[in-house]
Amino acid sequence: MTTPTTTRILPVITASAAATGALVGGTVAAVRSTIAVKEGKMSKSDAAKTVATESAGTGLATAAGVAATGILGLGGLAGLLGFTVVATGAKMLWDKAVPNALEKKRPTPIEEMS
């Protein structure tokens, strides 16, 4: 249920939410990637790619959740649940489509020998 006011401000709110989601996702990825680089599990180049990928994915997922709840006019608990379902689904699809270096399986010493 959209109203003229919702139609005008929803794109602005969605863009703002996307930026916030990207910032949070990028920050978390930066921390995880920095630790992985220090432990020698990831190169600096892979770390930068991971931060960019996670930032974009989290931003898009957040925007999708906000847009869906806004378009449907959901608020309160229904809005929170709707946002969570849509954002989680969008992030899962993103992660399947765009893998990042943090999720790469490193071969074990036994696998390397064979």
Identify which of 83, 26, 34 has the alpha carbon closest to the alpha carbon of residue 58: 26
Predicted TM-score of the model (pTM):
0.81
Would you say residue 107 has pLDDT above 60? no
| DSSP structure string for 10-45 | HHHHHHHHHHHHHHHHHHHHHHHHHHHHHTTSS-HH
Chain centroid to CA 18: how far?
9
pLDDT band at 4 (very low <50, low <70, confident <90, very high): confident
Residue 112 pLDDT > 80: no
- Could you report the per-residue pLDDT of 16-51, keeping only the tens digit for each? 999 999 999 999 999 999 999 999 999 999 999 999
**Model confidence pLDDT, tens digit, residues 43-99:** 999 999 999 999 999 999 999 999 999 999 999 999 999 999 999 999 999 999 998
